[in-house]
Amino acid sequence: AAELDVAAIKRDFPVLAERFRGRRLVYLDSAASAQHPLPVLRAQEHYYEHAHANVHRGVYALAERADQLYERARLTVGRFIGAPDPAREVVFTKNATEGLNLVAQAWGRRHLRPGDVVVVTELEHHANLVPWLMLAEERQLELRWLEIDEGFRLDLSRLTEVLRGARVLAISAMSNVLGTMPPVAELAEAAHRAGALVVVDGAQLVPHQPVDVGSLGADFLAFSGHKMCGPTGIGVLWGRAELLAATPPFLGGGGMIKDVRRDGFVPDDPPQRFEAGTPPIAEAVGLAAAIEYLQGIGLDRIAAHEHRLTAYALERLQQRFGRDLVIHGPREPEARGAVLSLAYRDVHPHDLAQVLDQAGVCVRAGHHCAKPLMRRLGVTATARASFYLYNDEDDVEALADALASAGSLFG
Ligand code: PMP
């Protein structure tokens, strides 16, 4: 596939033209939240200017317009991830976190019993960990862990043992700290053989490469709009139709019932059952526009671009800083996503991020909501640079130059 025209792509993102202290913006924090191209901004503006009304309850033409756009967005999302039945299987949530909580709190609370086993991994973001810890406490579940090895990959040597008798495998398809991409399809097959459902945290994977829920082997898949050039305030939970049908409501309120009486209620069918209250309508429209934008460029080309850029960055940074710079994560660029967790000499990650900011370079410092993983790495925080379709070699050079100036500043 042809390489991306990153200069042209950068022009699609108005914020990338902002200047800070006279310097161009070098945005290396897309793993936290991506920026927005014009078509996404326009789609939301267009919705508010021409189509806004509440969905589901309106009989007038304007409300029908809003309804159509909202339901069309659901289909766009469903097709994007290869959902067999998009109209029934795509639930709009607030973010990936809410989707994962929905699985644990609604499906899990109904179907898991004391002593049941949930398998999680050391790579998990708190979003795919705390909901299971909460349920484990409430339901006396047993949590089992898949750990990482010296190469920052999941250690699968005890897989059969760990999965034995498990009901759930909750796994991130890409670590937001290390970039590790576990072999989810292979693990899903093993989990299914053991009788476990597979809950995939796709927050980092779905924005960056083609994903098909069937070939991934997922039973549930959660992700966020804002990490894929879409708006904040919207996420997606995809679930197999029969699983969603067997899941009770998560939140109660308007829009999720068939009937309500003084002594009870009848929940609606999925996905409406899980969308209590006024949903994020403009955000759904924006998310659909983001998907169309990414598809217009091609997810396979975006993935190839990120792999090339990550390989370049790994090599360039090692070459320039040698042992002064530790990059946590797999060495092989093809086995990892475009996330570089950095430790530079003994400079505290927060100090490092602040110095990089002086050069207009945006990186995130902290525990990245992955405290068990931080403990395993033996650090309290890292400085994380992450790439997306609008980053290029110049951005890597800007990062390297800023690191070098941090080096001289801290002596
Ligand atoms: N999982 C992973 C791997 C993430 O990186 C993030 C975002 N940092 C989340 C889940 C949660 O996403 P959100 O905050 O949008 O719910």
Residue nearest to atom 14 of ligand 1 (CA): 97
Share of the chain above pLDDT 70, in %: 100
Q: How many residues does the chain have?
A: 411
Angle between helices 393-409 and 349-358 (to 10 degrees): 110
- The ipTM assigned to this model is 0.99
Mean pLDDT of 353-359: 95
Token readout for 171 is 């796994």
Q: pTM of the entire structure?
A: 0.98
Pocket of ligand 1 (CB under 6 A): 32, 95-97, 125, 127, 172, 176, 201, 203-204, 224, 369
State which of 30, 33, 95 you would mutate to test the pocket of ligand 1, scoring each by most atoms of that ligand within 8 A of its C-beta.
95
Q: How far apart are CA 324 and CA 343, in angstroms?
A: 8
369 part of the active site: yes
From the CA of 31, give the closest atom in ligand 1.
5
Give the 3-state secondary structure of residue 382.
strand
Tell me which of 31, 73, 352, 369 is the catalytic residue. 369
Q: What is the pLDDT of residue 57?
A: 78
Cα(379) to centroid(ligand 1), Å? 20
From the CA of 94, give the closest atom in ligand 1.
16
Q: Cis (ω within 30 of 0) for the bond into 183?
A: no
Mean pLDDT of 215-231: 98
Element (H, E) at 281: helix 281-297
Q: Which among 290, 276, 218 is positioned nearest to 92, based on CA atoms? A: 276
State which of 204, 211, 237, 367 you would mutate to test the pocket of ligand 1, scoring each by most atoms of that ligand within 8 A of its C-beta.
204
> How confident is the model over 61-74, as pLDDT tens digits?
999 999 999 999 99
Cβ neighbors of 82 (< 8 A, separation 6 or more) are 211, 212, 213, 214, 215
Q: Look-up: residue for tokens 């050069």?
A: 359
Look at residue 177 and tell me whether its pLDDT is greater than 70: yes
Q: How far apart are CA 99 and CA 224, in angstroms?
A: 9
Q: Which range has the worst mean pLDDT, 130-139, 262-271, 308-317, 324-333? A: 324-333
Contact 103, 318 (CB under 8 A): no
What are φ and ψ of residue 146, in 5° steps?
Answer: -95, 130
Contact 138, 109 (CB under 8 A): yes
Cα(404) to centroid(ligand 1), Å? 30
From the CA of 96, give the closest atom in ligand 1.
16
Q: What is the pLDDT of residue 87?
A: 98
Look at residue 31 and tell me whether its pLDDT is greater than 90: yes
> How confident is the model over 122-172, as pLDDT tens digits?
999 999 999 999 999 999 999 999 999 999 999 999 999 999 999 999 999
Q: How far apart are CA 120 and CA 129, in angstroms?
A: 7
